[in-house]
Amino acid sequence: MNIKNCIRNLFKIGLKTKTIDAQTIEVEYLGKKQDALLYVPYGMQIKTPNEDQLALIYAQEGNEDSLIALLTDIKNRDEIDDDKGLAIGIPDEKERIIFKQAGKIIFKIGDVEGGDFMARFNELKTGFDQLKSDFNTLVTTYSTHTHLVNVTVNNILPGPSTASGTGAAVPTTSPGTPSTASIDAAKIDEIEVPV
């Protein structure tokens, strides 16, 4: 038995021409069209354009009535600059989630890759709430303090007394305003990171 012929009968390259349902596609190879089981890695779901998607086709035990197809997108592969990595995204689109070595995950949107960092919202909110509380305590302290003012004998002008007079406690004339700042709108509910 010629091993080359066995491999030829098992593996073929064709094009996906149509989606039949979530598990079945139509493929075209060697001038004929046929249904094939769409192979997708465990845990992933895909929906692809209907025409001209490159399909790697496997004929189970050389039986052309039982095909399995794996779709690939050779034109739109990302270059990953690390020794190891994995990029997940929609073919023909530029957006990607890139998993790099050493546990780094980078989002690519359009032509922009990474460049900013996500924040742990709970820790950020704790620090911000403490800063807001400290600021509001300062505002309250400032707004309620009084000044001892020396007055002239005639009580006309404030300032150092040039004759005998008494001091008067006068509240501040420009009270502060408590902060209403909030970072709550910065929270992205749809993305969570480890604590």
Q: What is the pLDDT of residue 36?
A: 94
CB of 147 closer than 8 Å to CB of 167: no
Q: Cα–chain-centroid distance for residue 104?
A: 13
Of 182, 50, 189, 32, the C-alpha closest to 118 is 189
Q: What is the pLDDT of residue 34?
A: 93
Is residue 192 classed as helix, strand or coil in its secondary structure?
coil
Which domains are present in the chain? 3-72 (2.40.50.140), 76-113 (no CATH), 134-186 (no CATH)
Phi and psi torsions of 183, nearest 5°: -110, 10
Angle at 112 between CA 102 and CA 40, to 5 degrees: 65
Q: Give the percent of the chain with pLDDT over 90.
A: 17
Phi and psi torsions of 91, nearest 5°: -55, 150
Whether this model's pTM surpasses 0.75: no
Taking only the tens place, the pLDDT of each residue in 103-149 is 788 888 887 877 777 888 888 899 899 999 999 988 888 888 776 66
Count of all residues that appear for the chain in the document: 195
Q: How far is the C-alpha of 79 from the C-alpha of 57, rounded, in Å?
A: 25
Amino acid at residue number 52: D
Q: How far is the C-alpha of 153 from the C-alpha of 90, rounded, in Å?
A: 84
> Which residues neighbour 147 within 8 Å (Cβ) at sequence distance 6 or greater?
169, 170, 171, 172
Taking only the tens place, the pLDDT of each residue in 47-57 is 776 677 889 99
90 pLDDT tier (thresholds 50, 70, 90): confident
